[in-house]
Chain A
Amino acid sequence: MGLLGGIYAIWLREVKRALRDRGQLIGGVSRPLMWVLIMGIGLNPYFRGEVFGEVRFAIPYTYIQFIFPAIVVLNIMYTSVQSAVSVIWDREFGFLREVLVSPLPRWAALLGKILGGTTIAVFHGCLVLVLARFADVTFTFEQLALGLVYMFLLAFGLTSFGVVIANHIRSFEGFGVFSNAVILPLYFTSSSVFPLDPALTRAQTLVVYPEWLVTIVEWNPITYAVDALRGTFINFNQFNPSLGPIVLAVIAVVFFTWALFDFRKA
């Protein structure tokens, strides 16, 4: 009971701080609006292709529908990784010590912190879901529930990842540079903004795309996060549907363990 109270206290602090940070909230709202309204609507008419002389839709969805789950992932990525800035903050401004001398075990302190970041990230993911109507995406309550589970796993894994990075970076500036240098490439190579046509064999895909790009997409774990959410929200999977949940769970476990290892050393 005492342990839960402590984890709750740390979680509560993270959430309070994030909600008081106007800049983060504005980013969380404006980012999906920009992607849905500008990218989505702008590219919508071009999202059909001619493959081997045969005109057809690449996939049976509009472009907005196609990128909508990816925008959920993008918003979660930004928020999760950003939330790890608070690790640097705590170290710089001394609050870390208050936690270190407390009778709370290290793993509980870390868990509270990561759950706090995860909550905010899932919340920002939900801000995108509010736009579902404009993207012409409809889903049932069950789909929403499953989607939230995937979003939670993704946010948990990415927040842990952010904490790992924050443990190795000393300055706020370094962290800002880092997060942009990592988030966007991961996002763009996750088959988020363009599909790898599932109707094509790998050999045919390689005719359309250079091999390095296909390889990166296939190795990028975010690809499977996007795919899992696509499968959930628009019933479209480019990869084996069971891969998504597995990859998400592995990311969450691996990075949390890593973050804990670093934090114990501290």
Chain B
Amino acid sequence: MTEHTSNPAENAIVVTDLTKRYGRMVALDAVNLTVPNNTMFALLGPNGAGKTTLIHILCTILRADGGQAFLAGSDIARQPLQARQNIGVVFQEPSLDDRLTAYENLDFHGRVYNVKAADRKQGIDELLALVELEDWRHAVVRTFSSGMKRRLEIARALLHKPRILFLDEPTVGLDAQSRAGIWSYLDTLRKQRDLTVVVTTHYIEEVENCDQVSIIDHGKIIADGSPSQLKHAHGKETARVTPRDPETATAITAKFGIVQTSKDGSLIIDASAPGFADAFLGEFGSRIKQVSFDVPSLESVFLTLTGRELRDRGADEHEKRGAAGRRGRRS
């Protein structure tokens, strides 16, 4: 990000040369990142790209091997307690006490973050209303669905009025309705108060509404900017073509070069050249089953940058290791 200065006081998050290794594997490779105040920021990347590692380091529960990071002006290595007071975190897995009620979980959080009794009471009322859990105030959390738990965690992370809210894959495992709900809560909140939201996700449609997006892969930030900037800079118009026979496929490949082959056997080719449609259809129009044109989307940006489709996923080796590490992080 060149358009923002790196003054820690003016930006919600400033990260310089942050590095983390797990043994010989480099999880974060000198990551640089600047997030201005009051932005909706998305960290986009395939599984194992280093998103969760980055979030964990910023939340001060994992120590970096090198580099610096400032949260709302506090150095996370030197003033971790101050940095923590300014952030709210929603982890991938629930971290509620499921034997306590919704109210008790929130009350616990408020006390630990030193929220005054009157503010705590008012904040709990407001936030329970925001996430539509007022009726469940005195229900034990064990009885909640995963969507309700996630909502309660978001409410909890906001109770101490943090300046930065981290959400690590907040919508994974939720149905479409709950996902939409969570985004609408966040929108409402950002209208009400100064809040920088950092969200990791691999649902690309969720990223379209963010102010700034960083794409991370193999522990490196490979692109950042607003969604439209990214589309301009890296997006290509592509055509998805399903040829009738292998000979046609070879011919198309020879002439246009392929960006990628889909699993179903269709080819994705660069369609950004002027007059592409005429030229292509004139030559191959009768030898293809199907063709569709994609205007630049973040999906195609991602494809261009990483050579992978975001949805081609399944927990790979790296992510599994991360998950195991999360369970027993003590050794």
The answer to whether A17 and B100 touch (CB under 8 A), given A95-B95, A97-B61, A103-B113, is: yes
Among listed B19-27, B83-91, B248-256, B300-308, interface-contacting one: B83-91
The answer to whether A94 and B94 touch (CB under 8 A), given A9-B111, A99-B112, A266-B329, is: yes
B330 contact set on A, CB distance < 8 A: 91, 167, 265-266
Q: How many inter-chain contacts with C-beta < 8 Å in the A-B complex?
A: 80
A101 within 8 A of B: yes
B interface SS class: loop
Decide: B60 and A95 in contact? CB cutoff 8 A.
no
Nearest B residue to A100 via CB reads: B61
Decide: A5 and B328 in contact? CB cutoff 8 A.
no
Decide: B95 and A103 in contact? CB cutoff 8 A.
no
Q: Which of A13, A91, A103 contacts B82 (CB 8 A)?
A: A103
Binary B-proximity of A80-95 (CB < 8 A = 1, otherwise 0):
0000000000011111
User: Which residues of A in the span 95-115 have a Cβ within 8 Å of any Cβ on B?
Assistant: 95-105
CB distance from A124 to the nearest CB of B (A): 19
CB distance from B299 to the nearest CB of A (A): 32
Binary A-proximity of B85-107 (CB < 8 A = 1, otherwise 0):
10101010111111110001001
The answer to whether A94 and B93 touch (CB under 8 A), given A13-B108, A20-B99, is: yes
Q: How many angstroms between the C-alpha atoms of A13 and B98 in the bound complex?
A: 12
Q: How many angstroms between the C-alpha atoms of A1 and B112 in the bound complex?
A: 11
CB distance from B326 to the nearest CB of A (A): 9
Q: Which of B61, B93, B111, B327 contacts A101 (CB 8 A)?
A: B61
Q: How many angstroms between the C-alpha atoms of A1 and B94 in the bound complex?
A: 29
B59 within 8 A of A: yes
Q: Which of A92, A94, A104, A167 contacts B91 (CB 8 A)?
A: A94
A45 contact set on B, CB distance < 8 A: none
User: Which residues of A in the span 1-29 have a Cβ within 8 Å of any Cβ on B?
Assistant: 1-2, 5-6, 8-10, 12-13, 16-17, 20
B327 contact set on A, CB distance < 8 A: 92
Decide: A95 and B61 in contact? CB cutoff 8 A.
no
A105 contact set on B, CB distance < 8 A: 81
The answer to whether A8 and B111 touch (CB under 8 A), given A102-B84, A103-B81, A167-B330, is: yes
CB distance from B240 to the nearest CB of A (A): 41
Decide: A5 and B111 in contact? CB cutoff 8 A.
yes
CB distance from B144 to the nearest CB of A (A): 14
A56 within 8 A of B: no
A99 contact set on B, CB distance < 8 A: 112
Q: How many angstroms between the C-alpha atoms of A104 and B110 in the bound complex?
A: 12
Decide: A97 and B108 in contact? CB cutoff 8 A.
no
A31 within 8 A of B: no
CB distance from A25 to the nearest CB of B (A): 14
Q: How many angstroms between the C-alpha atoms of A99 and B89 in the bound complex?
A: 11
B290 within 8 A of A: no
Nearest B residue to A168 via CB reads: B330
B89 contact set on A, CB distance < 8 A: 97, 101
The answer to whether A6 and B112 touch (CB under 8 A), given A102-B84, A103-B81, is: yes
A170 within 8 A of B: yes
CB distance from A117 to the nearest CB of B (A): 16
B109 within 8 A of A: yes
Q: How many angstroms between the C-alpha atoms of A9 and B159 in the bound complex?
A: 15
Q: How many angstroms between the C-alpha atoms of A94 and B146 in the bound complex?
A: 14
B7 within 8 A of A: no
B262 within 8 A of A: no
Q: How many angstroms between the C-alpha atoms of A9 and B91 in the bound complex?
A: 21
* Between-chain CB contacts (< 8 Å), 10 pairs: A10-B112, A91-B330, A94-B91, A94-B93, A98-B97, A101-B61, A103-B81, A103-B85, A104-B112, A167-B330
Interface on B for A, CB 8 Å cutoff?
A: 59-61, 81-82, 84-85, 87, 89, 91, 93-100, 104, 107-109, 111-114, 156, 327-330
Q: Given A17-B97, A98-B156, 18 more contacts at CB 8 Å? A: A1-B114, A2-B114, A6-B111, A8-B111, A9-B108, A10-B108, A10-B112, A13-B100, A17-B99, A93-B97, A94-B93, A95-B97, A96-B95, A97-B61, A98-B109, A99-B112, A101-B84, A103-B81
